[in-house]
Structure 1
Amino acid sequence: MNFQSKNESGILPARLNMRKIPAFLFVLYSYVCTTVYAQKTAKIWLDDLTIKSFSEGIPAVLPKTTAAGDSMLINGRYFNRGVGVNATSILAFYLDGKATEFSALVGVDDKGNRDLPHTFYVVADRKVLFDSGEMRLGDAPKPVNVKLNGVKRLGLLVKVNDEGRTKVYSNWANAQLAVLDNYLPQNIPNSDEKYILTPPVAKMPRINSAGVFGATPNNPFLYTIAATGERPMTFSAKGLPKGLSLDEKTGIITGTVTQRGTYPITLTAKNGLGEAKKKLLVKIGDTIALTPPIGWNGWNSWARNIDQQKVMASADAMVKMGLNQHGWTYINIDDAWQGKRGGKFHAIQPNEKFPKFKEMVDYIHGLGLKVGVYSTPMITSYAGYIGGSSDAENGQLTDYIVANKRSFRYVGKYRFETNDAKQMAEWGIDYLKYDWRIEVPSAERMSVALKQSGRDILYSISNSAPFANVKDWVRLTNSYRTGPDIRDSWNSLFVSAFTLDKWAPYGGPGHWNDPDMMIVGNVTTGTQLHPTRLTPDEQYSHVSLFSLLSAPLLIGCPIEQLDAFTLNLLTNDEVIEIDQDPLGKSARLVWEKDGIQIWLKPLEDGSYAVGLFNVGDFGKTPESYFRWGDETAKSFTFDFAKVGLKGKYRLRDVWRQKDIGIFNGSFKTDISHHGVILLRMFPSKN
């Protein structure tokens, strides 16, 4: 008996003589023929996918064009299909063994940076299948054709050392995947257990407010005592300076102080189970933002869809979810609130999405929270709304500017910093995010305008402040963005936060290094609202490092959508206390070896906060840019002497809020991949 079967191309396989093979092989061969051969292969263009959702890099990724939105052009050859990327780019796909091939032509775009070499990699299940070698502008495109049979996870990497330079464009031209049974690639699964470490808050009162607060003489004063514990609760304050009063039911302190000076105050929170006390130093002088701002920003929640209802819902949720009891304060409206110039100051007025702007601000203040807004010295904002300058004396946007808004992202001839600052002060604004490719003159003009506005308005500049001017940012602002916009990926977190050691000496009370918003919860960073792509371990690392860095903590997700894990992540008072420590020192990277980093932060009481991070070999090999699902923890012995600490220390696990003992010289632990052990170290004589 002879058996024949046609494969997909119609070619007959070799005849099998069944007298010469065992029966079970015949059954196996029949199964292969009726399943594998029956599967149909189809080709899909990468640019037909929602390609932004697969990007774990930072800059833009666009289908069918360059990352700048132009036609793809490599060495004089145009391409209509493909994906354009910018700088180091990471595209990650889950294929589940249902793809057979990837093909493309790769190269540096003709409008890209001619000085920088790019290297293209195709990585599949930890194996590098394609390495282009260094490619530069003007090189002919190189063909990519790799087999993917059985591959679960695919990574497309473009590696380039851009160091903040612009127009670093390259292309995956004609990029296609051959897939089985019309399978559509998925995002890399993020199904790790959302393990909760922090115990529930106690019913006894605990005051969680920062221990120091700065305000300017004669300007409105607003400070809320943040306290956890069973309600109802009453508040009192001993030593309040003249001009301030406390609402004993809400813990909100308001008024105006005329006399400069430092005022020691004793705060008390009391409920039916007991009372808590805490010392507060109020410093009335020239410096505000004595601790990093902590609150919420609407951009990564709602982007251009922000409106008055969403803002007020966020403020209500901050109170309802209890975040305000842990010190969370600011409700910041990002780009897309701006309308036209007008009013008595000829300043930017709110658009139709904010019909009762002043009433909204007053409502949020009534909750004991503060309000922030967004602006820019450019003619148009990044979202295309009116900015703080114009080439026309009246400052209004024409129909032409609205239609060509990207062309007006520059500082115009006529500037309106004083107008806008006075309007913000009259509304009661407490925070300004000022956003553009930062230069000193624009930063200084707004700094002066805010200080002369008659209100304390925390001044935060964004984005990618040049490090060369860091002394100017310290002099002029309260916080300054140290890098590009953050994305919900380990790569973006690593670039935004794990590279900040050189900035550390410059951050401190009144002027904070800002790595951007937090990327926990449900976020939208160029795609639709979705759960953060950071694993739970990465999220613990994220919050730990931001706190160690004394960074502004601005939640970037809808507060009302917080799940139990994310809420727990954001309400550990001992972690927040590290961020809000009055000494204001940023942690330093004091040790790095074999994929472990140690960040050390001195605290006001003489103790240290220490983060032991397992960053792996991230960025050192093409494979390290991707998550493969088989990562394991690493055993590590923390030798105190290697970071300059000698003797015995009482160690406290900050996330678990648990003392773990007194250790002499070293401490051994396991650290999850991309995870952290966050410790508080108290010198011990015993």
Structure 2
Amino acid sequence: MNYKLKLFIVAIILIGAVAIAHAQQGNHVWLDDLLVSNFSEGIPSVSAKTSAGSDSMKLQGVYFARGIGVQSLSVLSFYLDGKAKKFTAIVGADDKGNPITSSKFYVIGDRKILFGSKDMKPGDKPENVDVDLSGIKRLGLLVTIADSGAGRVYSDWANAKFEMLNNAMPEPMPNDDERYILTPHSSKIPRINSPLVFGATPGNPFLYTIAATGERPLHFSAINLPKGLFLNAKTGIITGKITRRGNYIITLKAGNKFGTATKRLVIKIGDTIVLTPPIGWNGWNSWAKSIDKEKVIASANAMVSSGLSNHGWTYINVDDAWQGQRGGKYNAIQPNEKFTGFKKMIDYIHSKGLKFGVYSTPWISSYAGYVGGSSNFKDGAYPDFIKNNKRAYRYIGKYRFEKNDALQMADWGVDYLKYDWHIELNSAERMSAALKNSGRDIFFSISNSAPFALAKDWERITNAWRTGPDIRDSWLSLYVSAFSIDKWAPYGGPGHWNDPDMLIVGNVTTGSSLHPTRLTPDEQYSHVSLFSLLSAPLNIGCPIEQLDPFTLNLLSNDEVLEIDQDPLGKSARLLADEDNVQIWVKPMQDGSYAVGLFNIDGFGKTPQSFFRWGDEKPRSFLFDFSKLNLPGKWQLRDVWRQKNLGVFNGSFTTSIHHHGVVLLRMFPVGISNKLSK
């Protein structure tokens, strides 16, 4: 080998060594340069380069231009796959946060606590974080607070950054668990799936659709249909009016070449509507402000073509962003330019046997910056200076238009109103009265975070109330929204329902652009199971036309939906929490019980429990009937698999996946059993 060639080879080796050394030094990735909403599992959104109060981050008098601000309990999850060197930050409770409660910060890698701060209040000295991430695959940044009910709890990860290897980037936590399907496909033989009871007001327009599965075409009929009602034998849609109060017992029939299904329906004409929880679709978590008429019509069409309407899914609800200026014969909110032909669109939806809902607020401006139900102008004007400064007008104006808007909704044929603001009693009462005097049955749902102290009032004047904040597609949010609302159970029932918010399955836009839900398949089974046990309104929050087979199957189990739609209307109660398994029990009208066994796996008890580490295992669990005052023999049925498990005397042993559920129906055998109250 000649001298020049040797020099060339040495040079190449040196250049490569320098490049490798440079790569191994890593590149800095600021936390606030990431789309942090993709990593956040908390309920309030995270704020880049500001505090959670949308102000400058300030720790013990020092301002910080880099970092993120979080509010209340905060969970941030990252997948590093061993490609990070370290994480650094300065952490503390923001000076402008709640001075009473305290925050505590954790950095957790692969189940090990790499950093834990002291309890920190605003004004306390911040702490420096400098942790080695060599080899770490999964990382969690956690902030816990001393009082989960406290407001304005602002905590800062100031100057937070990763040092990554080889130009790698932190990724959201993977969600690649098997999407296993449990529910068998519907039979070709007819089955009627619509509710057993239906309520309407005397003289108001009546719309009820016989929801039925089975090979098409089906032929529908009804025995003892009251005077004033008319049934379309091809579609199963019943319309008309009943003027006389009372209970009417009808026999519904659906038939095809494979057989005939019958079902007893009780129509109650009186003062109470929506005797079972409404189930349908809401556009916000699908499209947010980009909703338009075409997307709504596509959703209605998909509700029918997917077969969901055959399982009883009924409502097509438009959320915020449909509203234009006031006008028309009632000087009411009119649709904006995205919703031309509004009445024609609603008529089309009704022709499908579906119902239609809208959104409004008693404020001057809605959360998304659209016309609200009040104004500081007598004619209800909404000029651009308000739209451009929407946050400043989230209050009730001098002039209110509840009656105007209710009459317009009834005239259009609206069936559902979501009323959204910082809930207070007076506004709710005014709109409740306006809707009841509109000449149409309009379901009245108030949102969000209804004060629990006024639960009896919400029961009296509304049809549903949001029991908590907006839901996000994370286990933490689901846990707060559903697993923590047992106290509301006594107030829900026929005509007035506890509402834990929308279903977070399929593709959703909660906190970021449209993406597959971050709930694992097991968590999704738990989600739909618990909402059904709670007798909650079920609003699909994803684009229906984008449903994959797993999600469609998840929403098409008639025995699960039957639990939600049970005419008794009782909410399940949390009757036991043992061995990290919660047992929720719901009495059913036929004397059986619906039971959910949920593997919570100690969620919230340790810092590590807030995160998914990828190594979680199923849990074997002994369900002891006697502990719930359910002695004796019971016929058990696996509801998701629609399969009888046999007769069990005293107990039942099963395996439950991490954050998963075993959903059962328990039918008494031989003796009378009573559940303790």
Q: TM-score range by the shorter chain?
A: over 0.9
Judge conservation of contact 1:212–1:290 (CA < 8 Å) in 2: yes
In the other structure, the counterpart of 1:9 is none
- Which residue does 2:7 correspond to in 1? none
**Which residue identity lines up with residue 124 of structure 2 in the other structure?**
D
Match of 1:204 in 2: 189
Q: Aligned letter for 1:474?
A: E
Q: Name the CA distance, whole Å, in 1 between partners of 2:515 and 2:106.
A: 28
- Aligned counterpart, 2:300: 315
Instruction: Decide which of 296, 309, 329 is 1:344's aligned counterpart.
Output: 329
- Written as runs of structure 1 = structure 2, the 5 A alignment for 1:6-405 is 39-405=24-390
1:656 and 1:399, CA in 2 relative to 1: closer, same or farther beyond 3 A?
same
Identify the residue that residue 517 of structure 2 maps to in structure 1.
532
User: Secondary structure of the residue that 1:680 maps to in structure 2?
Assistant: strand
Which one-letter code corresponds to 1:199 in the other structure? P
Code of the residue aligned with 1:208 in structure 2: it is N
Partner of 1:546: 531
Residue of structure 2 equivalent to 1:408: 393
Q: Which runs of structure 2 are paired with 1:271-670 in the superposition (5 Å)? A: 271-670=256-655
1:403 and 1:141 map into 2 onto residues whose CA distance is 37
Is this contact kept in 1: 2:536–2:564, CA < 8 A?
Answer: yes
Q: Distance in 2 between matches of 1:585 and 1:36?
A: 65
Give the distance between the partners of 2:53 and 2:355, measured in 1 at CA. Answer: 37
Residues 209-248 of structure 1: per-residue CA shift (max 9 Å, x gap) = 0100000000000000000000010000111111101000
| Partner SS for 1:290 | coil
* Alpha-carbon distance change, 88 to 32 in structure 1, aligned in 2, over 3 angstroms: farther
Write the distance in 2 (CA, Å) between the matches of 1:32 and 1:72: 41
How far 1:40 moved relative to its partner?
Answer: 4.0
Match of 2:207, SS?
strand
3-state SS of the aligned residue for 2:119?
strand
Aligned length, in residue pairs? 656
Which whole-Å CA distance do the structure 2 matches of 1:237 and 1:36 have between them? 80
Kindly indicate whether the alpha-carbon contact (under 8 Å) linking 1:162 and 1:168 is maintained by their aligned counterparts in 2: no
Contact 2:585 2:594 in 1 (8 A): yes
Q: Which amino acid aligns with 1:66?
A: S
Alpha carbons 1:82, 1:175 under 8 Å: kept: yes
Q: Structure 2 stretches of 5 or more lacking a match?
A: 1-15, 672-677
8 Å contact from structure 2 (residues 107, 141) kept in 1: yes
Offset of 1:38 from its aligned partner? 5.6
Q: Secondary structure at the match of 1:353?
A: helix
CA contact (8 A) 2:533 2:572 kept: yes
Note the C-alpha offset of 1:164.
3.8
For the Cα contact (< 8 Å) 1:88–1:161, is it kept in 2? no
CA distance in 2, matches of 1:313, 1:194: 26
Q: How many Å separate the matches in 1 of 2:126 and 2:512? A: 30
Q: Which moved more, 1:110-119 or 1:510-519?
A: 110-119
1:108 to partner: Cα distance: 1.2
Identity, % of aligned positions: 68
Distance 1:548 1:376 in 2: 30
Structure 1 residue 165, shift from structure 2 partner = 3.4
Q: Secondary structure at the match of 2:441?
A: coil
- Aligned partners of 2:382 and 2:51: how far apart in 1? 29
Residue identity in the other structure for 1:543: V
Other structure's SS at 2:339 match = coil
The answer as to whether partners of 2:373 and 2:400 remain within 8 angstroms in 1 is yes
Offset, 1:557: 0.1
Q: Which amino acid aligns with 1:485?
A: D
The whole-number CA distance in structure 2 between the counterparts of 1:604 and 1:217 is 26
Matched with 1:27 is none
Give 1:39 shift.
2.8
Matched to 2:421, the amino acid is W
Q: Is the 8 A contact 1:338 1:350 kept in 2?
A: yes
CA distance in 2, matches of 1:402, 1:456: 32
How far the C-alpha of 1:166 sits from its partner, in A, is 2.5
Inter-partner Cα distance in structure 2 for 1:94 and 1:463? 33
Residue aligned with 1:577, SS: helix
Note if contact 2:625-2:651 (Cα within 8 Å) is conserved in structure 1. yes
Distance 1:339 1:181 in 2: 51
Change (3 A) 1:165 1:420: farther
More moved, 73-82 vs 281-290: 73-82
Secondary structure, in 3 states, of the residue corresponding to 1:133? coil
SS in structure 2 at match of 1:114: coil
RMSD over equivalenced CA pairs, Å: 1.3
Aligned residue number for residue 10 of structure 2: none
Checking the alignment, whether the CA contact within 8 Å between 1:432 and 1:460 is kept in structure 2 is yes
Q: Which amino acid aligns with 2:587?
A: P
C-alpha separation in 2, matches of 1:622 and 1:36: 36
Q: Deviations over 1:640-661 (max 9, x none)?
A: 0111101000000000000010
**Residue identity opposite 1:314 in structure 2:** S
Deviations 1:636-682 (A, max 9, x none): 01000111101000000000000010000000000000000000000
2:9 alignment partner in structure 1: none
- 1:374 is paired with a residue whose SS is strand
| Other-structure match for 1:16 | none
Shift of 1:162: 4.2
Relative distance call for 1:124 and 1:649 in structure 2 (3 A) is: same
Does the 8 Å contact 2:23/2:165 carry over to 1? no
The superposition leaves residues 253-274 of structure 1 with CA deviations (integer Å, 9 ceiling, x where unpaired) of: 0000000000000000000111
- Residue aligned with 2:338, SS: coil
Q: Distance in 1 between matches of 2:150 and 2:238?
A: 47
CA distance in 2, matches of 1:593, 1:33: 58
Distance 1:58 1:345 in 2: 38
Name the aligned partner's letter for residue 204 of structure 1: I
Letter paired with 1:108: A
Relative to structure 1, is the Cα distance of residues 34 and 421 closer, same or farther in structure 2, using a 3 angstrom cutoff? closer
Aligned mates of 1:412, 1:530 — CA distance in 2: 37
**Normalised by the size of structure 2, how large is the TM-score?**
0.96
Contact 1:95 1:153 (C-alpha < 8 Å) held by counterparts: yes
Deviation per CA, 1:123-143: give whole Å up to 9, x if none: 111011111121001112211
Q: CA deviation at 1:171?
A: 0.7
Deviation at 1:70, TM superposition (A): 1.4
The one-character-per-residue Cα deviations of 1:573-601 (angstroms, maximum 9, x if unpaired) are 00000000000000000000121000000
Contact 1:265-1:281 at 8 Å conserved across structures: yes
CA displacement, residues 30-69 of structure 1 (integer Å, 9 cap, x when unaligned): x999967863411110000011110000002011111232
